[in-house]
Chains A and B, each alone.
Chain A
């Protein structure tokens, strides 16, 4: 129905907005008026309830306005409006399907408003909205309710974490997912949980539990929602954090605007807001970083979860999920296996079927296999898989991409469990470095360099390389048995130890300096000497890493033989140092255990430790370590293997097409649709940005007639006048122009 416009005269008299404004200013005096409107609201509500489906648009509009009025002033008359929230809830619950769209929105908005005014509490609001969100078929209402629910949860958690509310909602979501596993209703649980996780409102194990249940649902959509959360939820969270920290305000600009613009209250407020925000950002920067565990770590009973997930969705032949979704689930299962070092033996035999080059998305399968491998997987389980990959993928007849993907996949598996390889197979695979395709060559070399470090005995002697051969002779490179673990320690604790030692020494010296000031010069000389001494020791231990870098690099490039000889000569000395440094290192290890066991590490210590670790990492990344190590450093352990990693070497040999090259060259250059001068393009760009012209441009474009008078006058000047003005010009330019910018 068409709505009639309200006449202007009537508006003056019967304006609910005006009344609302007056009531809010003076609630006591307008109590009578409000009571009248409350009765009108009540009557209108009765009209509405008596026939909600056939109510006329007039009535709906009137009711809408009255609901709005009462909601805005309900907090001022708590006794009279006590039943109001219940009225709204009842209306929404019973008639949300038939209600007029605007009225429905208004009722939801009013409920949220009541929440903001603390008339009702969050729990009652959310328990009202949530069932409707799940049951309604209207898309607009759903999106409205969703945003309202999220914003309310955000708001109620903004100052302090509202544990009680969170627990209630999490229980509701958990029940929603577990009560009916076949329905799509669980989608909402996953959506809400994911959003709140992303915003770091929920960071504990309970939301992970909800998502875990979602993963074990029967409905494909719900399952995918849960799986995607575990695979990408944490990354999303980090990205959001980066984004929010990116937006910063230019306080100088705001200040300047305050100076040049008219001074209004609005501008003043904007300035205050900007200052406030900057202060808050500062505070945030200095605040201790919140320790947020990733969702994968917070899962309770990962072994059981991974097993269930695998049996239910992957091993089960009746499952009709699409391949894409199955791959996602596989990624999650293998990620869990790799991360928590779980043992699911049947997983590996399940893989066999999919390891053929004709399989769709086979690189993802290969990546998942690599991900599922860790040092506690029995080698005899992996061996058939590796053999299968080698047989299916790696042959002279297969395409270069296929072969390189196969070898690379084998390398990724072997990186995590070196014992999965037999001698003959490895020797066969290493021989592929004589292939014509660059991708295959690189993949085979990668495999070779990996085995040089982890298990050189398997390689033929000529492929072992110098370092590995030496290491074997000295017994330094030791082959690890299955299940053998490295002795544990705290990563980077030796750095902290060193730092502490240094600090202590410096303090002692300072004390000494203060004690006898006359000996200052001698002492300072001594200082330098001492610290040099210390640093010699420290550089020694580092040089061993540097030495590896040089040799491995040169092995990859046999063409540079001349330089290599020279390098060999240089290498002799570091090697000696390296062997001599070895017992030193063991002594260091003893010290470490002492520090970690004799003292308690304070938070300050931990922060320093983190800093030192990062520094060390940067140092290493600057190019003193081998490529493989650098790669491992770059890659966080928690990042899984992706299909891209497997496909990477195949890209190496490829030539780019002309279009690609052209596109690459064009990148970042201004668009040039028509023939135009660079100046004109620059000008157009500035115009588009809303920037003004420079003073020079203005002077150039100035109307000739405006300048002609001055030009004529200039011509008529006497010599003295001319020189005077020129001198003034020089003086002015020296002192920074008319505005004295320099001073």
Chain B
């Protein structure tokens, strides 16, 4: 029959010996490899694995790059761990400076792998606090981006970084451009306490936990943690500043000495784009209190009240927040 005949022939073909013909070139084998080409250079596909004998500076930089670019999560985490080790050594080995490390690693805040994010937090904790203070504005941008990220895990981890930032450079955080109002904005959006958004839907239902969608699971723990960090943020913002002790040379230092802080005239905003209300600097406690009072007090209070009614961890966190507000707004 037609098809079976065909199959038989095909099967036979495999075992047939190729006929040699006079004057014809012998047929090439199926596994023949053409080696007639000539290459001028050889490219090695794999990189060398030997790491010993490398310059420590180079190695640090390589690891820093790996931490950002490596494809596998583990490799990124390991590279971060290496950098952390170097930073926490005595004396710390940091050839690129804190600013260099931060600018390179900040995008990792919204990395997809949880272990990388955890390691990143460890790394940040190993950074010297005094050197973080000047680049708070930049860090805060990424923190705000992470706080409203789609993924809940990233939001949670970003909160930890926020806590670290408040610990390390609390005053700078609340006083940098956009540091006060924009961050409050992100917090309220995160908690679902923004009265301008989704009016009419947030009051339905019996729980004040924000309406989680998109397959995320937000338990009361997450909300409690958010309220805790918000409390901490407000505490830092409403902290009474210790009066600067009188020093006889202060006046003259201001006039004739070079300023010790970076960009001392940032509040004048001489070269940047004009700022709106949200991204303005609120340098002292009174200014922060005033703007909080006008813009966020009502919204946060109402959100807090409903959170208090829930009880449990959320209620406790809300109570702490209430206390902070009472103290802070006096």
B198 to A43, Cβ gap below 8 A? no
Residue numbers in A under 8 Å from B112 (CB-CB): 6-7, 9-10
10 contacting pairs across A/B (C-beta < 8 A): A5-B71, A7-B113, A29-B211, A33-B213, A33-B214, A36-B190, A39-B186, A44-B145, A47-B138, A706-B2
Among the 9-residue stretches B44-52, B147-155, B160-168, B250-258, the one with 4 or more Cβ atoms under 8 Å from chain A is: B147-155
Residue numbers in B under 8 Å from A36 (CB-CB): 148, 150, 189-190
Given contacts A31-B201, A32-B198, A32-B211, contact A39 B151 (CB under 8 A): no
Total chain B interface residues with beta-carbon distance under 8 A? 44
CB distance from A173 to the nearest CB of B (A): 32
Total chain A interface residues with beta-carbon distance under 8 A? 43
Q: Does B289 contact A (CB under 8 A)?
A: no
Residue numbers in B under 8 Å from A22 (CB-CB): 213-214
Known: A16-B150, A22-B213, A28-B201. 4 other contacts (CB 8 A): A10-B112, A39-B144, A46-B178, A56-B107
In terms of DSSP, what is the predominant structure of the interface of chain A? helix
Within 8 A of B (CB), among A36-94: 36-37, 39-40, 42-44, 46-47, 49-50, 54, 56, 58-59, 62, 80
Q: Does A14 contact B (CB under 8 A)?
A: yes
B197 to A31, Cβ gap below 8 A? yes
Q: Does B110 contact A (CB under 8 A)?
A: yes
User: Which of B's residues lie within 8 Å of A, judged by CB?
Assistant: 1-2, 68-69, 71, 103, 107, 110, 112-113, 138, 141-142, 144-145, 147-154, 178, 182, 185-186, 189-190, 192, 194, 197-198, 200-202, 210-211, 213-216, 273, 279
Residue numbers in B under 8 Å from A703 (CB-CB): 1-2
B144 to A32, Cβ gap below 8 A? no
A50 to B138, Cβ gap below 8 A? yes
Residue numbers in B under 8 Å from A35 (CB-CB): 189, 194, 197-198
Residue numbers in A under 8 Å from B144 (CB-CB): 39-40, 42-43
Between A and B, how many residue pairs show CB distances below 8 Å? 109
Q: Does A13 contact B (CB under 8 A)?
A: yes
> A66 vs B142: C-alpha distance in the bound complex, in angstroms?
14
Residue numbers in B under 8 Å from A30 (CB-CB): 213
Q: Does A569 contact B (CB under 8 A)?
A: no
Residue numbers in A under 8 Å from B185 (CB-CB): 39
A4 to B150, Cβ gap below 8 A? no
Q: Which of the residues B148, B194, B202, B273 comes within 8 Å of A40, measured between beta carbons? A: B148
A13 to B214, Cβ gap below 8 A? yes
CB distance from A731 to the nearest CB of B (A): 34
CB distance from B84 to the nearest CB of A (A): 20
Residue numbers in B under 8 Å from A46 (CB-CB): 141, 178, 279
Most chain B beta-carbon neighbours within 10 Å: one of A12, A40, A56: A40
CB distance from A72 to the nearest CB of B (A): 15
Given contacts A6-B112, A18-B214, A31-B197, contact A13 B150 (CB under 8 A): yes
B201 to A43, Cβ gap below 8 A? no
Q: Does A1 contact B (CB under 8 A)?
A: yes
CB distance from B180 to the nearest CB of A (A): 15
Most chain B beta-carbon neighbours within 10 Å: one of A33, A49, A703: A33
> A568 vs B200: C-alpha distance in the bound complex, in angstroms?
104
> A19 vs B71: C-alpha distance in the bound complex, in angstroms?
26
* Residue of chain B at shortest CB distance from A4: B71
Most chain B beta-carbon neighbours within 10 Å: one of A1, A4, A5, A19: A4
Q: Does A604 contact B (CB under 8 A)?
A: no
Q: Does A705 contact B (CB under 8 A)?
A: yes
CB distance from B147 to the nearest CB of A (A): 8
Q: Does A2 contact B (CB under 8 A)?
A: yes
Residue numbers in A under 8 Å from B154 (CB-CB): 14
* Residue of chain B at shortest CB distance from A704: B2
CB distance from B206 to the nearest CB of A (A): 17
> A482 vs B213: C-alpha distance in the bound complex, in angstroms?
91
Q: Does A15 contact B (CB under 8 A)?
A: yes
B149 to A1, Cβ gap below 8 A? no
Most chain A beta-carbon neighbours within 10 Å: one of B145, B192, B273: B145
Residue numbers in B under 8 Å from A44 (CB-CB): 145
Residue numbers in B under 8 Å from A4 (CB-CB): 69, 71
> A1 vs B189: C-alpha distance in the bound complex, in angstroms?
33
